[in-house]
Structure 1
């Protein structure tokens, strides 16, 4: 925190690469610092210049006699390592590295980025960037972006795109009374990561909301842990690019082929309290709203309209966002009827039916009644407000403005939010500017207005439930079982990364999971004897460290009823395996009882590159990768997260009972998801796990098949935690 404070609240700046050329960043930065009113020391550095913009220019930073907090490096990439070393010798806390040409440019750039990172660390200098557009502290005038007239406010802006930042800053200047406390172009996140900036802004009194555009994360799990801490105190609004990416494929398991990065990011961000935004035009409005208004605690909203069309559309949009539009109490409806025409709709949505045409102050009176209803958490006003003087009569202008004053004071008094959608927003009448003065956002787009109040509702819901969620931290190995550790060690000693099915099931059994019991038959006679002992129908499966997908190799035979079928199946399975993979080591066949028919689901885990261990749940069987009806969560799981995973797949109605069939045992499924989470936390050596199929019944479940893949030899180091 101390380093970041000296960087983002720097009292002095060395501009390395200072220039008298107006097109150069080394000129623009100094000019903007002076124009922005920065009162700290500004020290141009360039061995080829004597003065820049009236300031003495130094040959290098070590010539500067005064203490310097921060350096802005505007020179080419290859010059950066030596300059960082000089900054370290000078005692400079941080450096903002503008140049590109590092990790984003391939292997040579990655080597150079590692060099500057190592140099900075060795000399005690923190890095912003590289490949960054710069930083701004709007309150001190510390503007190292070269962008003038950035509006000052209480939203911190973190992005990996200078163009996105420019878009958001321009939108704030043109359409809002809101502005920014800080801007940080995170760049390549080489040294200072997103989570460190979040911690800084969480503790910054001038910041009320954090607005983010993220392309990639260096340390996703640490980021989630910091988000979980920060989002309880300040809303985090985030747009994550790359939604079309299907994620990395893994030939080793079904789970690897299912886990797309965008799905993992979306679910984990939501669980940590992030407000996920998918459309750039919603990004600033949602941040403006959440930084200005109190959250809606009960997800219940009233709609006040001066036209049925807008009210109906708003209802549909809010319902799609999961917001409830409850019928108003009889008492509230009676109060509304007393001030509105007899044909007004007062149940919710409320349509004033022309009751405001001659007196728009009725809007304020209706708002007071609606927010006075204890069952209503917030209010959306849609239609013509702000334009009555334009649409009907000039004398209504002052009445509208007075209504704006009343509604602004009402929000402050009631602690409940109002958002307004107006057809006249682009005209900017004074009545709407007054609403903005009071922190009531106004939008012309009904989609954006409903999105904003929907996110107020979602954030309020999160604040009420975050204690039910996990903090994304593992207690590695705490619940490991000695015998299960021995199974993993045995596989390692044999040079195997793949556990045999019976080994994987034994680990699960040790943690209380309901797995089927099998025995290893090395000969056909063994298989016949074991089948006889089991009784009833049995299943045979190939056991080979070289064959992972048994069905693909013809290595599974089901519903074997007698000794001849068992003997024949054993020989066929062995022959199929040898034909499928000549030279494969074959241990024999597992013999087990047939599981009872049920609905097939899959539960599996993998290591996500950004977030670490992830679990997937969905409809299973051989078509799992075709149907792709799955949900994802970053581990470890809470009970609430496990329940939501089950309920959010499209096929959830099948589990709830469908067309007269009994409801299936979702409690047992939830228990198994928590067991899987415990297993992964107990053995960091496990890279992937597939339980497919898991047969779900009305009472209980059976794990018919289990697969575990260990990490490579260095697996003992816990991933991303």
Structure 2
């Protein structure tokens, strides 16, 4: 996708393949933010190839992506981009934002000639996030001109109305020009964003053009169907909300030492290294410490005696965990025992966990068990970063558990993120209410969780050699967030936008 030259009306469109979506989205966000600062409606409208946006047209050299298809949708929303499915929708949106002001909200009125048409429009509006309240005006096709004018004026003069959808499709004969004129004049007089579906009219027409209070001509765009009109208005309303919202400030976490992280990577990743280097847990903890992220200390053990020694060293109570992948982090399946308070209980738990693990096959190489000091009780989350060949660093967040993994309830963002982006990332998963006092439980320390996400984002953005990072689980308690386990993989940098991501000072 490439940003087309901006026209005099401030509209932009992206229609050709991009080799660098990360840079594209940064440019798109800059354009949209600039339009908000200058009070001009200048959205970036993007048509993707196919439903996923991952189709590469013949003859274009574009890196393949390994990211899920929904990554593109989420980062476009993050950047204020309006995404459409085809050129028909693209020009439907563009003609609205080019000729009408943006809606100041979602409260929408309907002007229709029948209850059935109004019901159809209301249902479509609800699916696109618009709110239809009591502002529905039904004007019969045979209504007298004075009745028509009065009804249109009353609707447009409502103080708690943000936009209007006018639908007038004659059952017999041609459209009465007085209807189009009344709608055009009311929209121009009040500045109320309006879309119209008028029989025989399409696009920008003289019939729906009228002068505003300043004498400038303003046109209500006409659409072929109510679905087209409502879709365009819904996109405009969402873009207007994005423009009006606080987009936050760049992330600069305290105690973050990117130079130290780069020195460590330079030491651990020799020039002749293979494709990837998986870091040992101690080195992963060192790297994360440069980002100001602490990892709960863990001691690997083989049997009950070494587990007791580890517990005495860490301090009671402790948690004992198997390292078998199928049972790892799975307290519900018996692979994790929590709040082990004394030696007798620990020895019994060790024997049971080892027996359970043995039933699933040979033990993994290394220590079969881990002992860790207890973290505060809370909700377990998973924070990941992955270096994608196309997008660059991709940050993901979700609450831990099978339901989240199987249903894909994960939020994504592409750095550089702002503090507002991080807050939205944490709140996007459908399971996020568990963090905010779900079913009467106490609210958890989301601020501490956001701090961890922010540090991962900055680390991934500034360290292209960090091929993958997983913090799993991150336990969010009422006070604080604790990283219980972390895994990192390094590889030589192969980022397509290295010149954009200069060292931070």
TM-score range, shorter chain: 0.7 to 0.9
Please give the alpha-carbon distance, in whole angstroms, between the structure 2 residues aligned to 1:575 and 1:606: 33
Please give the alpha-carbon distance, in whole angstroms, between the structure 2 residues aligned to 1:578 and 1:499: 26
Pair 513,373 (structure 1): closer, same or farther in 2 beyond 3 Å? farther
The answer to whether the 8 Å contact 2:166/2:197 transfers is yes
The answer to whether the 8 Å contact 2:300/2:370 transfers is yes
The answer to whether the 8 Å contact 2:322/2:370 transfers is yes
Cα deviation for residue 277 of structure 1 reads 1.4
Which of the numbers 31, 34, 37 marks the counterpart of 1:230?
A: 31
Aligned to 2:12: 210
1:500-511 equivalences under 5 Å are 500-511=280-291
Aligned to 1:535: 316
The answer to whether the 8 Å contact 2:257/2:290 transfers is no
Please give the alpha-carbon distance, in whole angstroms, between the structure 2 residues aligned to 1:622 and 1:363: 58
Aligned to 1:678: 458
Which of the numbers 208, 221, 226 marks the counterpart of 1:435?
A: 208
Aligned to 2:124: 317
After superposition, the C-alpha distances for 1:110-145 in whole angstroms (9 at most, x for unaligned) are: xxxxxxxxxxxxxxxxxxxxxxxxxxxxxxxxxxxx
1:557-572 equivalences under 5 Å are 558-559=337-338, 562=343, 564=347
1:308 aligns with 2:95: no
The answer to whether the 8 Å contact 2:137/2:151 transfers is no
Cα deviation for residue 658 of structure 1 reads 3.5
TM-score (normalizing by structure 1):
0.56
Moved more, 516-525 or 291-300: 516-525
The answer to whether the 8 Å contact 1:600/1:695 transfers is yes
Aligned to 2:59: none
Cα deviation for residue 414 of structure 1 reads 3.0
Which of the numbers 81, 91, 112 marks the counterpart of 1:274?
A: 81
1:359 aligns with 2:144: yes
After superposition, the C-alpha distances for 1:476-497 in whole angstroms (9 at most, x for unaligned) are: 9x94256645554554369672
Pair 590,481 (structure 1): closer, same or farther in 2 beyond 3 Å? farther
Please give the alpha-carbon distance, in whole angstroms, between the structure 2 residues aligned to 1:659 and 1:646: 19
Which of the numbers 439, 464, 480 marks the counterpart of 2:244?
A: 464
Cα deviation for residue 674 of structure 1 reads 1.5
The answer to whether the 8 Å contact 1:404/1:432 transfers is no
1:322-341 equivalences under 5 Å are 322-325=129-132
1:480 aligns with 2:287: no
Aligned to 1:165: none
Which of the numbers 492, 498, 502 marks the counterpart of 2:269?
A: 492
SS of 1:375's partner is coil
The answer to whether the 8 Å contact 2:47/2:84 transfers is yes
Pair 376,557 (structure 1): closer, same or farther in 2 beyond 3 Å? closer
Pair 501,633 (structure 1): closer, same or farther in 2 beyond 3 Å? same
The answer to whether the 8 Å contact 2:378/2:477 transfers is yes
The answer to whether the 8 Å contact 1:302/1:348 transfers is yes
SS of 1:358's partner is coil
Cα deviation for residue 451 of structure 1 reads 0.9
Greater Rg by CA: 1
Pair 229,429 (structure 1): closer, same or farther in 2 beyond 3 Å? closer
The answer to whether the 8 Å contact 1:615/1:634 transfers is yes
Q: How many pairs are equivalent?
A: 468
After superposition, the C-alpha distances for 1:627-657 in whole angstroms (9 at most, x for unaligned) are: 3111111112222222222333222333333
TM-score (normalizing by structure 2):
0.77
Please give the alpha-carbon distance, in whole angstroms, between the structure 2 residues aligned to 1:412 and 1:555: 68
1:524-603 equivalences under 5 Å are 527-533=307-313, 534-540=315-321, 551=328, 558-559=337-338, 562=343, 564=347, 579=362, 586=366, 590-603=370-383
Which of the numbers 17, 20, 26 marks the counterpart of 1:219?
A: 20
The answer to whether the 8 Å contact 2:203/2:222 transfers is no
Aligned to 1:371: 156
Cα deviation for residue 416 of structure 1 reads 2.5
Cα deviation for residue 293 of structure 1 reads 1.4
Higher RCO by CA contacts (8 Å cutoff, separation 6 or greater): 2
Cα deviation for residue 319 of structure 1 reads 2.4
Cα deviation for residue 434 of structure 1 reads 0.8
Please give the alpha-carbon distance, in whole angstroms, between the structure 2 residues aligned to 1:408 and 1:444: 17
Cα deviation for residue 541 of structure 1 reads 5.9
Runs of at least 5 residues in structure 2 that lack an aligned partner in the other structure: 36-41, 56-64, 211-217
Please give the alpha-carbon distance, in whole angstroms, between the structure 2 residues aligned to 1:593 and 1:430: 67
Please give the alpha-carbon distance, in whole angstroms, between the structure 2 residues aligned to 1:611 and 1:272: 14
Pair 715,452 (structure 1): closer, same or farther in 2 beyond 3 Å? closer
The answer to whether the 8 Å contact 2:204/2:220 transfers is no
Please give the alpha-carbon distance, in whole angstroms, between the structure 2 residues aligned to 1:376 and 1:285: 22
The answer to whether the 8 Å contact 1:527/1:566 transfers is no
Please give the alpha-carbon distance, in whole angstroms, between the structure 2 residues aligned to 1:574 and 1:406: 76
Runs of at least 5 residues in structure 1 that lack an aligned partner in the other structure: 1-193, 248-256, 327-346, 392-396
Aligned to 2:235: 455
Aligned to 2:191: 415
Please give the alpha-carbon distance, in whole angstroms, between the structure 2 residues aligned to 1:223 and 1:361: 52
Pair 462,362 (structure 1): closer, same or farther in 2 beyond 3 Å? farther
